[in-house]
A and B are shown apart, each in its own frame.
Chain A
Amino acid sequence: MRIVADHKLDCLGLFCPMPVLKTRDAMKQMAIGQVLEMTSDDPASEADMTSWVARTGHELLEIERDGAAYRFLLRKTR
């Protein structure tokens, strides 16, 4: 079943550290259990997001790649 995101965040065109910073701020506004869909085309964002969830404990549900763009689905856990 396809996961439906509660919030969307467009980080296309931005570079590290902006996708991480904007994701952090967006997650702050969300309730625990909600899902954020973040899109980015920074080549560093896959490594950045993987390390960010490892550090913060949020859940990375899905990474999808479409050409140069990444789509991340993240669940707020705390």
Chain B
Amino acid sequence: MARPTVSSSERLARTGAGVTRVYLDYAAFSPVDPRVVALMRPFLEGGVGNPSALHSLGLEARASLEGARAKVARLVGATAAGVVFTASATEANNLAIRGLAERASGRHVVASAVEHISVLNACRHLAKRGWEIAYVPVDAEGRVDPDAVARALRDDTALVSVMAANGEIGTVQPLREIGRATRARGVPLHVDAVGAAGRIPLAVDDLGIDLLTLSSNDLYGPPGAGALWVRADVKLGPVVVGGGQEGGYRAGTENLPAIVGIGVAADLARVEGAAEVARLATQRDRLFEGVLARVPRARITGARGAARLPHHASLVVGGVKADGVLLELDLRGVAASSGSACNMASGEPSHVLRAIGCARDELEGSLCFTLGRWTTAAEVDAVVEALPAVIERLRRLAP
């Protein structure tokens, strides 16, 4: 398929009062690929039935639903029958952890200390109900030690949940080694693959994964859709009960336009992923090199090179507050983030930065640039150009 020629990139490039936009916050929201939109359109505009209906329109809808299931499964080398469509990756994480707990005989869950808030809060939900949760620490780059996971396993461990890669610091986890440890003890392994799917190889059988969470928007599909893949022998309780859709795990009439969208998005990621990853990694390194060379007291958070998500650049800058930097960058037409929307809301320091041992003054100066399908070298250069001046100015103003 041809590269998109219209809309998303142009929409990003020019918004507001003629301000040129540099959009480096893809992890928070990605524009939907125009090719995905084009294939979703007929499912919004009519001529399609409810997948449960018996008439021919219903049968066509069911075929489209199952087609999307196969496409999503193919991205991660999984069986189509195990794919459960949800309304978000958060919901998929809840279904994995709370759903499994409902059917499990154990009372113990192992999770990494740097999981997404939806995994952590699902674990806290179980902790309130008498479950014990072991949080495995990470090293200074945010990496989970597979041996520490193995040591945390008990006879009553019902689940291990470790993300494929961290959304705040980009570190890719050693899933193969973790999968080996969980398989040796027969404990199901759940992997939140948001951020990683389509960007690093994720074959579920190869890595020993039993449950895997995906986000549609993270793959340039529509927001409001996600998926959980579940291995056939893993049994879950439902999170939403009703008419038995999605294998009874997640009732409610299927959001067919969004599901078709995530299917197309998964296909595009599978086919074009390798080329895109190489391009993004080059741009990411260019951003890192430019910023580190020109901003004193800045350092990379998370892993480097291949142990890092290719589109992800995060750093801490001493002596400034991230909020101030982000507002100043916004005035210069650059949209970036400090890493986590949840922490931005509460103002509390990020649990991920605390887990990797960031110093107190670093906790407030965390910046996160996430690149994507329409990122240009000019956008990266604009950040490298703007950031040193912004930080110098804020440091001068600081008391």
Give the number of residues in A that approach B within 8 Å (Cβ atoms): 15
Which of A17, A21, A24, A48 is the most central at the interface, judged by chain B CB atoms within 10 Å of its CB?
A17
Tell me the A25-66 residues at the B interface (CB within 8 Å): 41-44, 48, 51-52, 55
What are some 27 contacts across the A-B interface (CB < 8 A)?
A15-B124, A15-B125, A16-B120, A16-B124, A16-B346, A17-B342, A17-B343, A17-B345, A17-B346, A17-B348, A20-B347, A20-B348, A21-B346, A24-B347, A41-B128, A42-B124, A42-B128, A43-B124, A43-B127, A43-B128, A44-B124, A48-B348, A51-B348, A51-B349, A52-B348, A55-B347, A55-B348
B90 → chain A, closest Cβ, in Å? 12
Query: Chain B, 120-135, contact with A by CB distance < 8 Å: what is the 0/1 string?
Result: 1100110110000000
Answer whether residue A3 sits at the interface, using C-beta atoms and an 8 A cutoff. Answer: no
Chain B residues with CB below 8 A from A41, complex form = 128
A14 to chain B, nearest CB (A): 10
**Contact residues, B342-363 vs A (CB, 8 A):** 342-343, 345-349
B271: interface (CB < 8 Å)? no
A15, B124: Cα distance in complex, Å: 8
A-binding residues in B (CB < 8 A)? 117, 120-121, 124-125, 127-128, 342-343, 345-349
How close is B207's CB to chain A, nearest CB, in angstroms? 29
Complex CA gap A2/B297 in Å reads 49
CA of A52 to CA of B345, assembled, Å: 13
Contact A15 B346, CB 8 Å, known A41-B128, A43-B127, A68-B128: no
Q: A51 to B343, alpha carbons, bound, how many Å?
A: 13
| A21 and B121 within 8 A (CB) | no
A15 neighbours in B (Cβ, 8 Å): 121, 124-125
Determine the residue in chain B with the shortest Cβ distance to A15. B121
C-alpha spacing A37/B157, complex, angstroms:
37
Cβ distance B220 to chain A, nearest Cβ, rounded Å: 28
In the bound complex, what is the Cα–Cα distance between A43 and B131 (angstroms)? Answer: 11
- The residue on A at minimum CB distance from B124 is A43
Q: Which residues of A contact B121 (CB under 8 A)?
A: 15-16
Q: A16-B121, A42-B124, A52-B348 are in contact. List 13 more A-B contacts (CB 8 A).
A: A15-B121, A16-B117, A16-B346, A17-B346, A20-B346, A20-B347, A21-B346, A43-B124, A48-B346, A51-B348, A55-B347, A55-B348, A68-B128
Q: Quick one: closest B residue to A16, CB to CB?
A: B121
**Considering the chains assembled together, what is the distance between the CA atoms of A51 and B346 in angstroms?**
12
Q: How distant is the Cα of A41 from the Cα of B126 in the complex, in angstroms?
A: 12
A20 closest partner in B (C-beta): B346
Q: Chain B: which residue is nearest A44 at the CB level?
A: B124
Q: Enumerate chain A residues within 8 angstroms of B342, measured Cβ to Cβ.
A: 17
Complex Cα distance A15/B349, Å?
16
Q: Please, which residue of chain B has its CB at the minimum distance from the CB of A52?
A: B348
Residues from chain B with Cβ under 8 Å of A17 in the complex = 342-343, 345-346, 348
Rounded to whole Å, the gap between the CB of A15 and the closest CB of chain B is 4
Nearest CB of chain B from residue A7's CB, rounded to whole Å: 20
CB atoms of B345 and A21 under 8 A apart: yes
* A20–B348 CA distance with the chains assembled, in angstroms: 9
Q: Across the interface, which residues of B come within 8 angstroms of A21, CB to CB?
A: 345-346
Which chain A positions have C-beta within 8 A of B117?
Answer: 16
A54 to chain B, nearest CB (A): 10
Shortest Cβ distance from B359 into chain A, in angstroms? 15
Bound CA–CA A33/B346 (angstroms): 23
A39-B343 Cα distance, complex, nearest whole Å: 21
Min C-beta distance of A26 to chain B, whole Å: 14
Contacts of B348 in A (CB 8 A): 17, 20, 48, 51-52, 55
Minimum C-beta distance from B80 to chain A (A): 33
